[in-house]
């Protein structure tokens, strides 16, 4: 490079005609593409993706919104990982699923009784953790079936009772053994009460019906709490306030007492047959849908807080 010289710099320069070629930079400028929303229309593009999406969602070609597509894509990705894991696991791995489902159902039954005294109390939180741990221990195939069952029931939440019953029957065909084991586990407290009452010579219906009422009430309170809490969190409400609103919504002193009482009555009726878990869980889909759409139903909360 030629050194800088003050003498040369001070000398007058000859006038030169302006040239665009000289003015433009000699190096190529990098091309910056504008950021665009990803095209999710082909999110289920490969044959394998279409197959898995068909199993999980039913119709992979249907049009999704961007938010729904991202959520469904994440759900599909989780399902695909489980499918790959299931191929690697031995068939004998699923043998443990039945006792695990029984244990998970029994834990749910205990949690529902605990929820009678207030949804999401410390005992209920502990029971939820146990349920989740048992769920993680199940085989990949069982977890895939659970994901499909949850999707079927979720799609039926906004529909009528008949559609939910049909969805429940559809879900049963996906995992009949797992669902039966889980239901038996959930019903274990009621069945045990019936056996105990019969053995002692008392009324065979009084204690099971009482436990059914308690469980039905607990399931209803839990469904209200979960629906309100989850919907408020989805709306960006902070965790503390969402919990306070959800606790008020499931309270016996709130404006949802009629729904809670109805759930308890249904639980008492179902408790006579020992199959209350399946009946109540189907009925509670309406409760979750109702309170998810209107999480601030309790007007007293809106006035005082």
Task: From 210, 216, 127, 135, select the one nearest 178 (Cα to Cα).
Answer: 135
Cβ 283 vs Cβ 227: under 8 Å: no
C-alpha distances out from residue 62 to 42, 56, 129, 216, Å? 11, 13, 36, 37
pLDDT at 294: 57
Distance of CA 150 to the CA centre of its chain: 8
Count of all residues that appear for the chain in the document:
305
Percent of the chain whose pLDDT exceeds 90: 22
pLDDT at 221: 92
How many Å apart are CA 94 and CA 91, to the nearest integer? 6
- How do residues 129-146 score in pLDDT, each as one tens digit? 999 999 999 999 999 999
For 102-127, what is the mean pLDDT? 91
Reply yes or no on whether the pLDDT at 287 is more than 70. no
pLDDT at 149: 87
Please indicate whether residue 165 or residue 257 has the higher confidence score (pLDDT): 257
Burial of 257 (0-12, 13-18, 19+ CB in 10 A): exposed
Distance of CA 80 to the CA centre of its chain: 17
How many Å apart are CA 172 and CA 226, to the nearest integer? 24
Task: Give residue limits of the domains in the chain.
Answer: 65-82+94-298
For 59-64, what is the mean pLDDT? 46
How many Å apart are CA 41 and CA 174, to the nearest integer? 28
CA dihedral 163, 164, 168, 169 (to 10 degrees): -20
Among left, alpha and beta (phi > 0; psi -120 to 50; other), residue 58 is left
How many Å apart are CA 61 and CA 41, to the nearest integer? 8
Res. 60 pLDDT band, cuts 50 70 90: very low
Average pLDDT, the chain: 75
For 208-227, what is the mean pLDDT? 88
How many Å apart are CA 166 and CA 152, to the nearest integer? 10
How many Å apart are CA 96 and CA 116, to the nearest integer? 31
pLDDT at 100: 94
Task: Report the range of poorest mean pLDDT among 87-96, 127-136, 248-257.
Answer: 87-96
Task: From 40, 130, 125, 52, select the one nearest 86 (Cα to Cα).
Answer: 52
Cβ 214 vs Cβ 220: under 8 Å: no
Reply yes or no on whether the pLDDT at 298 is more than 50. no
- How do residues 16-55 score in pLDDT, each as one tens digit? 555 555 555 555 555 545 444 444 445 555 666 666 666 6
Q: What is the pTM of this model?
A: 0.67
Task: Report the range of poorest mean pLDDT among 36-45, 49-58, 178-187, 191-200.
Answer: 36-45
């Amino acid at each position: 490079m030629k050194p800088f010289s003050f003498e040369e710099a001070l000398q007058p320069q000859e006038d030169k005609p302006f040239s665009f070629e000289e003015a433009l930079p000699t190096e190529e400028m990098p091309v910056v593409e504008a950021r665009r929303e990803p095209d999710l229309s082909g999110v289920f593009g490969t044959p394998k993706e279409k197959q898995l999406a068909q199993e999980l969602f039913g119709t992979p070609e249907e049009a999704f919104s961007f938010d729904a597509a991202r959520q469904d894509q994440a759900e599909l990705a989780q399902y695909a990982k489980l499918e790959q894991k299931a191929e690697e696991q031995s068939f004998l791995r699923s043998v443990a699923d039945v006792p695990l489902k029984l244990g998970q159902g029994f834990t749910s039954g205990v949690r529902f009784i605990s929820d009678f005294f207030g949804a999401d109390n410390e005992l209920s939180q502990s029971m939820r953790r146990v349920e989740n741990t048992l769920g993680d221990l199940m085989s990949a195939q069982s977890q895939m079936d659970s994901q499909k069952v949850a999707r079927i029931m979720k799609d039926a939440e906004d529909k009528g009772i008949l559609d939910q019953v049909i969805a429940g029957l559809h879900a049963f065909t996906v995992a009949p053994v797992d669902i039966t084991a889980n239901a038996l586990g959930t019903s274990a407290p009621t069945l045990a009460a019936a056996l105990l009452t019969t053995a002692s010579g008392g009324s065979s219906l009084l204690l099971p019906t009482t436990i059914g009422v308690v469980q039905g009430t607990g399931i209803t309170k839990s469904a209200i709490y979960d629906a309100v809490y989850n919907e408020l969190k989805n709306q960006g409400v902070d965790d503390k306030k969402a919990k306070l609103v959800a606790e008020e919504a499931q309270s016996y002193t709130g404006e949802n007492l009629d729904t809670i009482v109805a759930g308890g009555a249904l639980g008492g009726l179902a408790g006579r047959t020992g199959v209350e878990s399946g009946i109540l869980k189907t009925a509670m889909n309406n409760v979750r849908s109702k309170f998810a759409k209107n999480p601030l139903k309790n007007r007293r909360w809106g006035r005082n807080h």
